[in-house]
Structure 1
């Protein structure tokens, strides 16, 4: 994933594509950018989506996806073959497919439009209609743009092979997430016209599905294929002989992320907020790795005693409450 979330969204000159090299775009991506200028703000939005969803879903864990904001100059947690790297690549490829698909539906580009009418029969008494998300175009664009940094090499590195698999896994997960939405239309709320279309869920929903795959990610080793110069990944565990295309893979065990270690890409948890009565990952015992924590009581202002007045405004008072904040030592 590039650092395009910080780039300008005013893409109106091919020079903007060349300038985006500063944000991590490679030669092939710059060429795609020049051919698809109107889609580049969507690509930038997908990058922001990846960052926001990742940080939201991992906010209560030791690794909280902070390093994703350093794109394209990643720390080793996102370049060394970890399961965190697997998650970020799967999520970014899925986000690109999702945002492009929905941009097609919204008419943001002339390169695509509504998704194809499904071959399957719609739900009873309904007809296919509306404008479904153009997943086909979104998948093609995502594969072209997200995979290009890892394809144009004579001999693909182990990291490139891993990133390509996880990119594809993210797209497979979002493809499997396509659902049927239906709506009734008619005068005064009647249901004279019943239409359905195919739609993709929001990125938090997709990110949660990929997070489940993150927890079950398969550790692999890169082995040479017998009687061939090629190499391929195989599961490290003898009991597992293969992995599916929608499973995430990694080849480097993650650190515990307890203490700062630049060589491992760990920022540590010192100063992180925690909950002292929680037994989960956000609990002080787990988050602080047994180092202990400090507690401070602060006063926080908030809106209270709100009243609705006809018509049409809400009036609230400002109240204060005492809140205990715990931080890891």
Structure 2
């Protein structure tokens, strides 16, 4: 007797494809949990770390880069939680990876941000690792073809953005998921690409002065990506204006179209979403909402961190809290800093 019918086989294949679509791009962020791990041998690459089978293969081929990838995951998780610390959705569920809660699977703007920040932190970290010699996989980035102006010359070792982009697209399976016809996978592919575009667009030049007594008569510059906090801030702004889209077919090709008819196009570096977000007011672990009860809020603010918005109309309680901090620090030659401990009473407000 056959163990599986044709129908069961088809269902199994569909399930595997769905799982692959959901797993490809961001589950590797779970590496932040093993950020102190030493990556020395191909045998260190395991699916238990949050890697897909394909990422395990890539890991085995690029072991010297995996410490950088793990640090990138930590940088991405920290940036997400920092940017949304004063929001109802505070990016707490990102720490659950490789388990994915519904807020990161249903096609919301929160999912869009996480996919964007994941690819942005990866390209930023790998490009920077090349320039500082943290890996033997790559070297300095190429200088721009445009000749420098008279006040500086190209030199030093710039961030290798081209290599960072190639590795990011490989590691996130971008070229595979971008050809998917599934709506959520199309969304994930777009936001993965948007994150890399935001990182690349931040590229500027860093310079060092040379000359007698710091006269800067000679200035050497090299291409450099912006500080990652600035990239994360840019992505947060794009989260706020993310474009709600629907799928349509044009000449047999699946593509996205804005639901708002006043939006004429979907730029490659903007985030998109297909499902409206929950309000995150009440706890719902499966949805990825911790609720806002007990969260600190700003009584005088009318923005997202203000008590009116954060507390969802439930009101808030105020209390005085004693806090301790370092103060009156003095530098003693050589080389010690001594501080006193000061306390103060501050008024805090927490949602009911």
TM over 0.5: yes
Query: 63-72 or 275-284: which moved more?
Result: 275-284
Sort the Cα spacing of 1:128 and 1:268 in 2 relative to 1 into closer, same or farther, 3 A: same
Name the structure 1 match of 2:71: 45
Give 1:180's aligned residue.
205
Partner Cα distance (1:153, 1:177) in 2: 23
- 2:162 is matched with 136
User: Does structure 1 retain, via aligned residues, the 8 Å contact 2:102–2:286?
Assistant: yes
Unpaired stretches in structure 2, ≥5 consecutive residues:
1-25
Partner residue, 1:236: 259
The answer to whether the 8 Å contact 2:318/2:348 transfers is yes
Which residue does 1:10 correspond to in 2? 38
Cα distance, 1:141–1:294 mapped onto 2, change above 3 Å? same
**Mapped partners of 2:187, 2:259: distance in 1:** 14
Give the whole-Å Cα distance in 2 for the aligned partners of 1:280 and 1:235: 27
Q: Residues 151 and 218 of structure 2 are in contact (CA less than 8 Å); yes or no, is this contact kept in structure 1? A: no
What SS does the aligned partner of 2:172 have?
helix
1:264 Cα deviation from its structure 2 partner: 3.3
Residues in 1 aligned to 2:102 and 2:72: alpha-carbon distance in whole angstroms: 23
1:71 to 87, 97, 101: 97
* 1:101 corresponds to which of 121, 127, 140: 127
**Offset from partner CA, 1:28-55 (integer Å, 9 cap, x none):** 1111101100000101111111111111
Are the counterparts in 2 of residues 87 and 210 from structure 1 also a CA contact under 8 Å?
Answer: yes
Whole-angstrom distance in 2 between the partners of 1:37 and 1:306: 44
Match of 1:197 among 222, 240, 249: 222
Q: What RMSD in Å do the two structures reach over aligned CA positions? A: 2.0
Question: Match for residue 249 of structure 2?
Answer: 224
Assess if the C-alpha contact under 8 Å between 1:54 and 1:65 holds in 2.
Answer: yes
Q: How many residues align?
A: 324
Contact kept? 2:178, 2:190, Cα under 8 Å: no
Structure 1 contact 147–164 (Cα < 8 Å) conserved: no
| In structure 2, distance between residues paired with 1:153 and 1:105 | 29
Secondary structure class of the residue paired with 1:47: helix
Question: For the Cα contact (< 8 Å) 1:115–1:131, is it kept in 2?
Answer: yes
From 330, 333, 344, the equivalent of 1:321 is: 344
User: Which of 164, 171, 176 is matched with 1:151 structurally?
Assistant: 176
1:263 Cα deviation after fit: 4.8
**Deviation string for 1:190-227 (max 9, x for gaps)?**
4343211100011110011111111111101122334x
Q: Which runs of 5+ in 1 are unaligned?
A: none
Answer yes or no: is the 8 Å Cα contact 1:102–1:134 preserved in 2.
yes
Shift of 1:317: 2.6
Tell me which of 284, 287, 294 is aligned to 2:307.
Answer: 284
Q: Over residues 77-125 of structure 1, what are the superposed CA-to-partner deviations in whole Å (9 max), with x where a residue is unaligned?
A: 1111001111111111011000000000011222211111211122323
User: Bigger shift: 61-70 or 276-285?
Assistant: 276-285
Instruction: Tell whether the 8 Å contact from 1:180 to 1:199 is kept in structure 2 after alignment.
Output: yes
| TM-score, length basis structure 1 | 0.92
Bigger mean CA offset, 108-117 vs 315-324? 315-324
Bigger drift between 138-147 and 190-199 goes to: 190-199
Distance 2:201 2:177 in 1: 28
The answer to whether the 8 Å contact 1:220/1:234 transfers is: yes
> Does residue 320 of structure 2 align to residue 297 of structure 1?
yes
